[in-house]
Amino acid sequence: MARFSFLIAVAVIAFYAIPGFSLSAGENLVKNGDLNTPDPENKNGPQFWQQPDGKGVVWISHPDSANKKNMVIRFDTRISEIEMVEHWKKIGMDEWVFPDAAKNSISDTYGLSFYSVSIPVEPDQAYRLTFDFKGTVGEIGQSKMWVRGYADLRGRKRRIWETIANPYPVKGKQQEWRRVSQVFFPTKLAKKVTEMKVMLYACYPASVYYFDNIVIEKISQEEYKQGREKGAVIIPITKFD
Ligand SMILES: [Ca+2]
Protein backbone atom coordinates (compact mmCIF):
# COMPACT_ATOMS: atom_id res chain seq x y z
CA MET A 1 0.00 0.00 0.00
CA ALA A 2 2.82 2.36 0.97
CA ARG A 3 4.61 1.54 -2.26
CA PHE A 4 1.42 2.16 -4.22
CA SER A 5 1.05 5.61 -2.63
CA PHE A 6 4.68 6.31 -3.42
CA LEU A 7 4.11 5.44 -7.07
CA ILE A 8 1.09 7.71 -7.22
CA ALA A 9 3.17 10.51 -5.69
CA VAL A 10 5.87 10.00 -8.30
CA ALA A 11 3.28 10.00 -11.07
CA VAL A 12 1.76 13.25 -9.75
CA ILE A 13 5.16 14.94 -9.53
CA ALA A 14 6.00 13.77 -13.06
CA PHE A 15 2.70 15.17 -14.31
CA TYR A 16 3.37 18.61 -12.85
CA ALA A 17 6.93 18.55 -14.13
CA ILE A 18 5.70 18.45 -17.74
CA PRO A 19 6.19 21.86 -19.37
CA GLY A 20 2.83 23.60 -19.48
CA PHE A 21 1.76 21.90 -16.26
CA SER A 22 4.49 23.48 -14.16
CA LEU A 23 2.04 26.19 -13.13
CA SER A 24 0.27 25.09 -9.99
CA ALA A 25 -2.59 23.44 -11.84
CA GLY A 26 -5.95 23.83 -10.16
CA GLU A 27 -4.99 26.85 -8.05
CA ASN A 28 -7.98 29.16 -7.89
CA LEU A 29 -6.97 32.71 -8.84
CA VAL A 30 -10.33 34.03 -7.58
CA LYS A 31 -9.75 34.74 -3.91
CA ASN A 32 -12.55 33.39 -1.74
CA GLY A 33 -14.18 31.96 -4.85
CA ASP A 34 -16.39 29.73 -2.69
CA LEU A 35 -17.70 32.94 -1.07
CA ASN A 36 -17.52 31.31 2.36
CA THR A 37 -15.11 33.68 4.13
CA PRO A 38 -16.62 36.86 5.57
CA ASP A 39 -15.05 40.23 4.89
CA PRO A 40 -13.34 41.28 8.15
CA GLU A 41 -14.39 44.88 7.37
CA ASN A 42 -18.02 44.02 6.66
CA LYS A 43 -19.56 40.87 8.08
CA ASN A 44 -22.46 41.08 5.60
CA GLY A 45 -20.28 40.29 2.62
CA PRO A 46 -17.57 37.93 1.42
CA GLN A 47 -13.89 38.89 1.58
CA PHE A 48 -12.21 39.91 -1.69
CA TRP A 49 -15.53 40.82 -3.31
CA GLN A 50 -17.54 44.00 -3.67
CA GLN A 51 -19.82 44.84 -0.78
CA PRO A 52 -23.30 43.36 -1.43
CA ASP A 53 -26.14 45.87 -1.13
CA GLY A 54 -28.12 43.45 1.11
CA LYS A 55 -31.34 43.77 -0.92
CA GLY A 56 -30.86 43.09 -4.63
CA VAL A 57 -27.55 41.34 -4.01
CA VAL A 58 -27.38 39.35 -0.76
CA TRP A 59 -24.68 37.14 0.77
CA ILE A 60 -26.56 34.18 2.32
CA SER A 61 -26.26 30.51 3.23
CA HIS A 62 -26.56 28.04 0.39
CA PRO A 63 -30.30 27.39 -0.14
CA ASP A 64 -29.80 23.67 -0.85
CA SER A 65 -27.00 22.73 1.54
CA ALA A 66 -27.26 21.61 5.18
CA ASN A 67 -24.00 23.47 5.84
CA LYS A 68 -25.04 26.97 6.87
CA LYS A 69 -21.44 28.13 6.56
CA ASN A 70 -21.53 27.41 2.84
CA MET A 71 -22.32 30.88 1.54
CA VAL A 72 -23.55 32.01 -1.88
CA ILE A 73 -24.55 35.24 -3.59
CA ARG A 74 -28.26 35.63 -4.26
CA PHE A 75 -29.68 38.14 -6.71
CA ASP A 76 -33.31 39.23 -6.59
CA THR A 77 -34.24 40.94 -9.83
CA ARG A 78 -37.96 41.16 -8.91
CA ILE A 79 -37.28 44.35 -6.95
CA SER A 80 -38.25 47.54 -8.76
CA GLU A 81 -35.67 50.04 -9.97
CA ILE A 82 -37.24 52.67 -7.71
CA GLU A 83 -36.91 50.45 -4.63
CA MET A 84 -33.32 49.55 -5.53
CA VAL A 85 -32.29 53.17 -6.02
CA GLU A 86 -33.91 54.18 -2.72
CA HIS A 87 -32.06 51.39 -0.95
CA TRP A 88 -28.69 52.21 -2.55
CA LYS A 89 -29.05 55.88 -1.57
CA LYS A 90 -29.95 54.88 1.98
CA ILE A 91 -26.82 52.77 2.41
CA GLY A 92 -24.55 55.20 0.54
CA MET A 93 -23.91 53.04 -2.55
CA ASP A 94 -24.35 55.94 -4.95
CA GLU A 95 -22.20 54.47 -7.69
CA TRP A 96 -25.07 52.62 -9.37
CA VAL A 97 -27.91 55.10 -8.88
CA PHE A 98 -29.82 55.61 -12.15
CA PRO A 99 -31.14 59.08 -12.90
CA ASP A 100 -34.54 57.88 -14.19
CA ALA A 101 -35.54 54.95 -11.96
CA ALA A 102 -38.65 53.13 -13.24
CA LYS A 103 -41.45 51.23 -11.49
CA ASN A 104 -40.52 48.08 -13.42
CA SER A 105 -38.55 45.35 -11.78
CA ILE A 106 -34.81 45.75 -12.23
CA SER A 107 -34.83 42.65 -14.45
CA ASP A 108 -36.44 44.69 -17.24
CA THR A 109 -33.55 47.10 -17.58
CA TYR A 110 -30.16 47.11 -15.93
CA GLY A 111 -30.18 43.86 -14.00
CA LEU A 112 -27.87 43.48 -10.99
CA SER A 113 -24.15 42.86 -10.87
CA PHE A 114 -21.50 41.90 -8.33
CA TYR A 115 -17.73 42.18 -8.81
CA SER A 116 -14.66 40.39 -7.47
CA VAL A 117 -11.48 42.30 -6.65
CA SER A 118 -8.89 42.57 -9.45
CA ILE A 119 -6.97 39.50 -10.50
CA PRO A 120 -3.63 39.86 -12.35
CA VAL A 121 -3.62 38.71 -15.99
CA GLU A 122 -0.44 37.20 -17.37
CA PRO A 123 0.50 37.72 -21.01
CA ASP A 124 0.08 34.70 -23.30
CA GLN A 125 -1.80 32.86 -20.58
CA ALA A 126 -5.06 30.98 -21.13
CA TYR A 127 -7.55 30.38 -18.32
CA ARG A 128 -10.63 28.40 -17.45
CA LEU A 129 -13.63 29.95 -15.66
CA THR A 130 -15.93 27.66 -13.68
CA PHE A 131 -18.93 28.60 -11.56
CA ASP A 132 -22.12 27.18 -10.07
CA PHE A 133 -25.45 28.78 -10.92
CA LYS A 134 -29.08 28.31 -10.00
CA GLY A 135 -31.87 30.27 -11.62
CA THR A 136 -34.09 30.60 -14.65
CA VAL A 137 -32.25 29.81 -17.82
CA GLY A 138 -33.19 28.93 -21.36
CA GLU A 139 -34.18 31.13 -24.23
CA ILE A 140 -35.43 33.91 -22.02
CA GLY A 141 -32.75 33.70 -19.35
CA GLN A 142 -30.37 36.66 -19.39
CA SER A 143 -28.22 35.94 -16.34
CA LYS A 144 -24.56 35.11 -16.87
CA MET A 145 -21.02 35.61 -15.71
CA TRP A 146 -18.55 38.02 -17.24
CA VAL A 147 -14.80 38.27 -17.00
CA ARG A 148 -13.74 41.84 -17.74
CA GLY A 149 -10.18 42.81 -18.61
CA TYR A 150 -8.54 46.17 -17.83
CA ALA A 151 -5.44 48.09 -18.87
CA ASP A 152 -3.85 51.39 -17.88
CA LEU A 153 -4.41 53.59 -20.90
CA ARG A 154 -3.63 57.29 -21.00
CA GLY A 155 -3.36 57.42 -17.23
CA ARG A 156 -6.67 55.71 -16.57
CA LYS A 157 -7.74 52.17 -15.92
CA ARG A 158 -10.02 51.17 -18.77
CA ARG A 159 -11.99 48.08 -19.64
CA ILE A 160 -10.68 46.87 -22.99
CA TRP A 161 -11.80 43.25 -23.13
CA GLU A 162 -14.49 40.96 -21.78
CA THR A 163 -15.92 37.52 -22.18
CA ILE A 164 -19.27 36.01 -21.20
CA ALA A 165 -20.14 32.58 -19.86
CA ASN A 166 -23.82 31.63 -20.15
CA PRO A 167 -25.30 29.05 -17.77
CA TYR A 168 -27.39 27.60 -20.60
CA PRO A 169 -28.46 25.68 -22.55
CA VAL A 170 -28.73 22.72 -20.25
CA LYS A 171 -30.99 19.70 -20.21
CA GLY A 172 -33.30 19.20 -17.26
CA LYS A 173 -35.28 21.52 -15.09
CA GLN A 174 -34.67 25.22 -15.39
CA GLN A 175 -34.14 25.74 -11.68
CA GLU A 176 -31.50 23.07 -11.10
CA TRP A 177 -28.02 23.99 -10.01
CA ARG A 178 -25.54 23.61 -12.81
CA ARG A 179 -21.76 23.97 -13.07
CA VAL A 180 -20.55 25.99 -16.02
CA SER A 181 -17.02 25.76 -17.34
CA GLN A 182 -15.53 27.77 -20.19
CA VAL A 183 -12.03 28.65 -21.42
CA PHE A 184 -10.81 32.17 -22.20
CA PHE A 185 -7.60 33.92 -23.24
CA PRO A 186 -7.51 37.67 -22.49
CA THR A 187 -4.23 38.69 -24.15
CA LYS A 188 -4.98 36.77 -27.32
CA LEU A 189 -7.53 39.43 -28.26
CA ALA A 190 -6.35 42.38 -26.17
CA LYS A 191 -2.60 42.31 -25.62
CA LYS A 192 -2.61 45.17 -23.12
CA VAL A 193 -4.88 43.55 -20.53
CA THR A 194 -3.09 43.38 -17.19
CA GLU A 195 -5.92 42.60 -14.78
CA MET A 196 -9.42 41.15 -14.75
CA LYS A 197 -12.48 41.06 -12.55
CA VAL A 198 -15.27 38.53 -12.41
CA MET A 199 -18.74 40.04 -12.67
CA LEU A 200 -21.75 38.00 -11.57
CA TYR A 201 -24.82 39.25 -13.39
CA ALA A 202 -28.53 38.54 -13.03
CA CYS A 203 -31.29 40.07 -15.11
CA TYR A 204 -34.37 38.84 -16.98
CA PRO A 205 -36.80 37.31 -16.06
CA ALA A 206 -37.69 38.82 -12.65
CA SER A 207 -36.64 36.06 -10.27
CA VAL A 208 -34.00 34.95 -7.79
CA TYR A 209 -30.58 33.68 -8.92
CA TYR A 210 -27.69 32.11 -7.04
CA PHE A 211 -23.96 31.91 -7.75
CA ASP A 212 -21.23 29.96 -5.95
CA ASN A 213 -17.78 28.36 -6.37
CA ILE A 214 -16.24 30.79 -8.83
CA VAL A 215 -12.91 29.48 -10.08
CA ILE A 216 -10.37 30.84 -12.56
CA GLU A 217 -7.40 28.60 -13.19
CA LYS A 218 -4.49 28.72 -15.58
CA ILE A 219 -4.58 26.21 -18.41
CA SER A 220 -2.16 25.31 -21.20
CA GLN A 221 -2.70 26.64 -24.71
CA GLU A 222 -3.45 23.08 -25.78
CA GLU A 223 -6.26 22.85 -23.19
CA TYR A 224 -7.52 26.22 -24.41
CA LYS A 225 -7.64 24.97 -27.99
CA GLN A 226 -9.52 21.83 -26.96
CA GLY A 227 -11.86 23.89 -24.77
CA ARG A 228 -12.68 26.24 -27.65
CA GLU A 229 -13.52 23.34 -29.90
CA LYS A 230 -15.74 21.75 -27.26
CA GLY A 231 -17.45 24.96 -26.15
CA ALA A 232 -18.87 25.61 -22.68
CA VAL A 233 -19.32 22.54 -20.49
CA ILE A 234 -22.52 22.67 -18.40
CA ILE A 235 -23.43 19.88 -16.01
CA PRO A 236 -26.29 19.65 -13.49
CA ILE A 237 -25.06 19.35 -9.89
CA THR A 238 -26.93 17.99 -6.90
CA LYS A 239 -24.26 17.63 -4.18
CA PHE A 240 -23.14 20.64 -2.17
CA ASP A 241 -20.46 21.19 0.48
CA1 LIG B 1 -20.06 28.70 -1.08
Q: What would the pLDDT profile of 69-119 be if each residue is shown by its tens digit? A: 999 999 999 999 999 999 999 999 877 777 888 899 999 888 999 999 999
CA of 72 to the centre of ligand 1 (A): 5
CA dist., res. 93 & res. 110, Å (int): 16
- The pLDDT assigned to 80 comes to 96
pLDDT tens, residue by residue, 22-76: 344 579 999 999 999 999 999 899 999 999 999 999 999 999 999 999 999 999 9
Residues forming beta bridges with residue 159, ordered by sequence position: 150
- The pLDDT assigned to 34 comes to 98
CA of 132 to the centre of ligand 1 (A): 9
**What is the CA angle 68-70-73, rounded to 5?**
110
For 32, 166, 200, 219, the CA distances from 28, given in Å and listed in that order, are 9, 20, 17, 11
- The pLDDT assigned to 1 comes to 39
Indicate the average pLDDT of the chain.
Answer: 87
Q: Does domain 2-236 have CATH number 3.30.930.10?
A: no
In eight-state DSSP terms, residue 184 is E
Q: Using an 8 Å Cβ cutoff, are 135 and 111 in contact?
A: no
- The pLDDT assigned to 99 comes to 80
Closest-CA residue to 224 (of 132, 112, 147, 129): 129
pLDDT tens, residue by residue, 139-160: 666 789 999 999 999 999 999 9
Q: Using an 8 Å Cβ cutoff, are 24 and 122 in contact?
A: no
Q: Is the pLDDT of residue 161 over 50?
A: yes
CA of 46 to the centre of ligand 1 (A): 10
CA of 36 to the centre of ligand 1 (A): 5
Mean pLDDT confidence for 127-132? 97
* Other C-beta atoms lying within 10 Å of the C-beta of residue 114: 23
CA dist., res. 161 & res. 86, Å (int): 32
CA of 70 to the centre of ligand 1 (A): 4
> What is the DSSP code string of 68-136?
TT-EEEEEETTSBHHHHHHHHHHHT-GGG--TT--SSBGGGTT-EEEEBPPEE--TT-EEEEEEEEES-
* Other C-beta atoms lying within 10 Å of the C-beta of residue 39: 17
CA of 217 to the centre of ligand 1 (A): 18
Burial class (CB in 10 A: 0-12, 13-18, 19+), 174: middle
Residues 6+ apart with CB under 8 A from 4: none
CA of 109 to the centre of ligand 1 (A): 28
> How would you label 125-157 residue by residue, b for 16+ Cβ within 10 Å and e otherwise?
bbbbbbbbbbbbbeeebebbbbbbbbbeeeeee
